[in-house]
Chains A and B, each alone.
Chain A
Amino acid sequence: MSAVAAPRPGPPLWLLLELTYRCPLHCAFCYNPTNLAETGAELATEDWLRVLREARELGAVQLGLSGGEPLARDDLEEIVAEAHGLGYYINLITSGVGMTEQRIAALKQAGLDHIQLSFQDSTREVNDFLSSTRTFELKSRVAAMIKRHDYPMVLNVVLHRLNIDHVEQILDMADRLGAEYLELANTQYYGWAWKNRESLLPSREQVRRAEEATARFRERVGNRMQVYFVVPDYFETRPKPCMNGLGSVFLTVTPDGTALPCHAAKMLPGLDFPNVREASIGDIWYASPGFDRFRGDSWMKEPCRSCPEKTRDFGGCRCQAYLLTGDATNADPVCELSPHHHLITEAVERAEQAVAAGEARAPAVERPILFFRDHRSRDHRSRDRRNQR
């Protein structure tokens, strides 16, 4: 248009496809993670293939395939094969349910690069695992397949108040499974975890002990396994550069075709997110108001607007700002410069008291959410290393 037009954003380097709502776990504690009445039917194979082609053309190169349980789609191999042919690096994020020798071999053949074995973000699945029940058997069986087929293996466990004291045990079991990477990510407080924040936020002491256990483990195993320990941002004084800023590198497509700049962004009010059935990935990325809304810094309020750190953290997480302050354009209250920072410190204070009082009640709602490790965690590796010293 004119000389003052904003610079064209870079390409959506990172594509996450949530292929299905379906999850065959059928756990007693699980209710369907989405309200199927509100969501449309899942995209067909050819839609996913078109999304892959269009995004790759723009420059997408890292591909995550998740769900629900992506293995619930029997066209997964076809999708992987197309993605491989296009030159993506393909990460499968699975609970392991539905993995068979035949499928893992077919996926390898199709060009799958890596498998992340995930635990549902629920207390029950990790507990089951720790107490060596069916879940442990399932994960070990799938882990053995992953090793046999020579995939790099990442194990992802979401931590919170109710399981963080078992970090040592989790580390040992990950080692026994032969994981090369283990991510211990503390819950991000939105969705299911937000509803249960008062039961899930650990105390400082719990976090400190877990970090110490992790450090001891690192000493012991050396190079064999890389462990990422992601400190809950409630204990920080600066926010994470969430998604590198919405609309900067990350694009998620939900099973019904809704395109989002972050898998949680649907909660943000007043934003219309386009559907890949109606718009091309190029139009969605470069020309939709939903993706443009939080680019740059013109949307920012004080204290972010005049803050020199805004180019580093982009004011933090929009979803967290919205959930805690009711306004998505506020600074993420994790930042101690935010006028709402007391909301964080008060929550931490309540957690301290609850833990001290020995309250370990189960969350009111069990709601598994598959966790895509890169959501906000990667940037914490550097911090993590700093903490080690």
Chain B
Amino acid sequence: MSTPSRTSVASGTNPPSKSSAPGEPRRIAATAKPAVGRGYRLQWEQAQQAHVLLYPEGMVKLNDSAGAIMSRCDGERTIGQIVEDLEKTYDASGLTGEVTAFVEMAVAQKWLEVRE
């Protein structure tokens, strides 16, 4: 069985994607507009009290912060706008690094696609 056991995705602690080769870090721009990847679906599951990401024959249960970020990735908003929204909603500051790192990881996993 797949991922019901591979549950939590810690948004802040994940290493940036492997696309950042040593010497040429490829950060995703603040103007990029992430959207849920093709073949993936994000939805809130009442029974699990969590956002889950569904894909062919698999499922990832997202933790609260990952869910908060991904549910804002609608292909319309830029990373900058998403950060702003999150900082306002959660009364926090300095989330750019964390959000960018999560988006990079999620893009590497194909959970998200980025439109510039």
Residues of A within 8 A of B89 (CB): none
Residues of B within 8 A of A61 (CB): 43, 45, 47, 52, 54, 59
Docked complex Cα distance between A114 and B45 (Å): 20
Tally A-B pairs: CB < 8 A: 74
Task: Give, as a whole number of angstroms, the nearest-CB distance from B4 to chain A.
Answer: 5
Are B57 and A249 in touch, CB under 8 angstroms? no
Within 147-171 of A, Cβ neighbours of B (below 8 Å) are at 150, 152, 154
Answer yes or no: A379 CB below 8 A from chain B CBs: yes
Contact among B1, B3, B52 for A243, CB-based, below 8 A = B1
Number of A positions contacting B (CB below 8 A): 31
Docked complex Cα distance between A114 and B58 (Å): 11
Are B2 and A378 in touch, CB under 8 angstroms? yes
Answer yes or no: B94 CB below 8 A from chain A CBs: no
Bin the interface of chain B by size.
20 to 34
Within 1-53 of A, Cβ neighbours of B (below 8 Å) are at 10-11, 13-14
Docked complex Cα distance between A282 and B38 (Å): 33
Docked complex Cα distance between A154 and B1 (Å): 17
Residues of B within 8 A of A373 (CB): 57
Answer yes or no: A58 CB below 8 A from chain B CBs: yes
Answer yes or no: A229 CB below 8 A from chain B CBs: no
Pairs across A and B, CB under 8 Å, 6 listed:
A59-B47, A114-B56, A154-B56, A180-B39, A374-B1, A378-B57
* Nearest 9 pairs of A and B residues by beta carbon: A59-B47, A152-B39, A378-B2, A89-B54, A114-B56, A244-B1, A11-B47, A249-B4, A374-B57
B: residues with CB less than 8 A from A are 1-5, 38-39, 41, 43, 45-48, 52, 54-59
